[in-house]
Chain A
Amino acid sequence: MKTTAMMFLMLSVLALPVSTQESNDGSAASAIRALEHEWVVAQAHNDNRALDLILDDSLVYAEYGKLVSKGEYLSRIKWSDPQLTQIVMEPMTVRVFGRTAIVVGAYRKRDLKDGKPRLSRWRFVHTWVYKKNGWALVAAGAAPLLNNQN
């Protein structure tokens, strides 16, 4: 079951359409898309080691209106049940500004609330900075998409 859910998640990520707004730095944009994909997969695997490499130590993560540190985020992922949350990524836009990149996109999230399945759609914005070990995620946050906006 866990494997099936993982495969579905991975396929959903792999099926991402090509962005309609490419940056002028194609290689950086491609690297960041790959990291975004790695992030989702690592989260689904509860793979804290992979996440540790992707997330900057000073990550600022806004989740449900709260600020969460890298340590808090990793702690939550470590103990969460991946079967309870399924994330399907939608097309994303990557804009590269030298050693900084902004990723904007949306995802669908299926989880349980009070034991009942719930489907929600979120818009996210992620900030990546190129550091000595490569691109690192320094800020991330999402807001629930209301009224099925595009």
Chain B
Amino acid sequence: MRTSALLMLLACANPVGYPQETSNSDEAAKLVAMQHVWSQAYVLKDPKALERILDDAFVNVESDGKLITKADVLAEVRTSTVVQVLMESIVVHLHGDTAIVAGVILAKGVEHGKPYAQRVRFVDTWLYKNGQWVTIAGLVTPVGE
């Protein structure tokens, strides 16, 4: 089931309009999978899954302009109200030991008894460090018209 989901995500990776710097599909697949783990951590309220994915120096610019750290993200995950995350699109650009992963997710959840759905665009920077990919920065913005 998880493999099928990953294959679906890979099928969604469409680099049209954004030529890849290198065609390292294995690394791109790893990054897509890790991005998937990241989004699922919110559904599972599992901060441990993010411990090794987020670099200690990680920073993220939220859709309201707020700047948050790794600790903030882990706290956010613990109290997450997200029940489902759909990866609508994802594209990976590899630049040696750096990768830019961008896409759109649709997060559905329930907050104060009311269901919500939020579609956001993300742009994350990953770094190959000590034998594994970690994310060092991110940006989330509402999807434009």
Contact = CB atoms under 8 A, between A and B. Distances in A.
Interface of A: 56-58, 60, 62-67, 69, 95, 97-100, 102, 104, 106, 121-125, 127, 129, 131, 138-139, 141-147, 149
A interface, over-half SS: strand
Given A65-B144, A104-B61, A127-B125, A141 B139 contact: yes
Contacts of B138: 125
Contact of B18 (A69, A98, A124, A143): A69
B63 to A, nearest CB: 6
Contact of B137 (A57, A104, A122): A104
Contacts of A121: 65
Contacts of A146: 64-65
Contact of A99 (B67, B97, B125, B144): B97
A122 B65 contact: yes
Name the residue in A106, A127, A131 with the highest tally of chain B Cβ atoms < 10 Å from its Cβ. Answer: A127
A125 B93 contact: no
B127 interface: yes
B52 interface: no
B41 interface: no
Contacts of A100: 97-98, 125, 127, 136
Contacts of A129: 95-96, 98
Given A58-B18, A64-B144, A98 B61 contact: no
Contacts of B57: 95, 97
A62 B93 contact: no
Nearest to A69: B17
B143 interface: yes
B52 to A, nearest CB: 17
A99 B96 contact: yes
Contacts of B97: 98-100
Contact of B144 (A60, A66, A122): A66
Given A60-B100, A65-B141, A125-B137, A143 B65 contact: yes
6 contacts: A56-B95, A62-B139, A104-B59, A104-B137, A142-B61, A146-B64
